[in-house]
Amino acid sequence: MHFLFVADPIEQFKIYKDTTFSMMREAQRRGHAVSVCEPRDLGWQRGRPVTARVRAITLTGSPDDWFRETSVHERPLHAFDAVLMRKDPPFDAEYIYATHLLEQAEREGARVINKPRALRDHPEKLAIMEFSEFTTPTLVTRDAAAVRAFHAEHQDIILKPLDGMGGMGIFRVKADGLNLGSIIETLNKDGAQTIMVQRFVPEIARGDKRVLVIGGRPVPFSLARIPQGSEVRGNLAAGGKGVAQPLTDDDRRIAEAIGPVLAQRGLLLIGLDVIGGSLTEINVTSPTCFQEITEQTGFDVPAMFIDALEAQLAT
């Protein structure tokens, strides 16, 4: 089979930890062909299918010069056996436009994973609203007064933008309310932007766990991203330390409740963020942590993913 990965520029990949790279490596190991493009390479013209300027590549196995480009050409997306949308956030207007192009490609016969409509329907911060029984107390609002009331009730809170990634733009405000007004103004831009506020979960000290769910089934290990020093964020991009550990009963309960529901909607791969038994986010765009879990536990996450992908394509 021939897989097309829609991703950020591959020259920027940190292959020692990149999940998309691990997918490519496992696909090639099984004899599948790999091509890549960026969202900016997608296009449509009346009377023609959605096409992309794609680069066919071969992985070399070298840690430095890790791929060889074998050809560059324009191809319709429906010519591939699967198109894997792996563009990192931000979930901005250009990302949404890309999903519309991919959805048109689906109408033309392409198999796109994760499903473009499902990507649009499940923004990563807001998707938890459907599963509120698993969440910590949470507020979504533009209203500064509502944020102040939430803080007055819960005393210790986390504020974050809806379009952030990697821990970007996250603030903690404790009972003293220090800088709350300034933080609200910074995040909601005088009421122009909606933000999320959550009660602080002290179990973050033991890690913000990434629970991967593939084809509706949880990977048996999570990656606990543990804040370092005085940092409140556990995100690896913010300096957190990743420690793989078996799923807890709470982790598995949440994953087994949510995973099959979202798999039915076309989300083959999701990443649940769980802190102290509370669901805080549902990642659907380009969930990560495959390599960290595999290296620390021996459980082959990329193999589980390609197994699920092959099974889906066989239906």
Query: Per-residue pLDDT tens for 124-170?
Result: 999 999 999 999 999 999 999 999 999 999 999 999 999 877 778 89
pLDDT above 90: residue 47: yes
264-286 tens-digit pLDDT? 999 999 999 999 999 999 999 99
What pLDDT sits at residue 232? 67
Where among 200, 228, 248 does a domain terminate? 200
For the segment 68-127, what is each residue's pLDDT rounded down to a tens digit? 999 999 999 999 999 999 999 888 899 999 999 999 999 999 999 999 999 999 999 999
Contact 55, 31 (CB under 8 A): no
Q: Which of 183, 200, 217 is the last residue of a domain?
A: 200
Catalytic residue among 106, 124, 273, 292: 273
Number of domains in the chain: 3
Burial per residue of 246-260, b for 16 or more beta-carbon CB atoms within 10 angstroms, e otherwise: ebeebbbebbeebbe
Averaged pLDDT of the chain: 95
Residue 252 has pLDDT above 80, yes or no: yes
Residue 39 belongs to domain with CATH number: 3.40.50.20
Which residues constitute the domain of residue 105?
2-119
Q: Which of 114, 86, 113 is nearest to 12 (CA)?
A: 86
The answer, yes or no, to whether residue 234 has pLDDT greater than 70, is no
DSSP labels, 68-129: EEEEEEEEEGGGSSEEEE-PPSP--HHHHHHHHHHHHHHHTT--EES-HHHHHH--TTGGGG
Question: Which one of 38, 233, 235, 251 is the catalytic residue?
Answer: 233
- Model pLDDT, residue 227: 84
Catalytic residue (choose from 38, 188, 283, 292): 283
65 is catalytic: no
Choosing from 200, 215, 247, the residue where a domain stops is: 200
In the residue annotation, 41 being an active-site residue is answered as no
Q: Residues 111, 160, 199, 209: which is the catalytic one?
A: 160
pTM for this predicted structure: 0.93
| Residue 125 designated active-site | yes
The per-residue pLDDT for 68 is 98
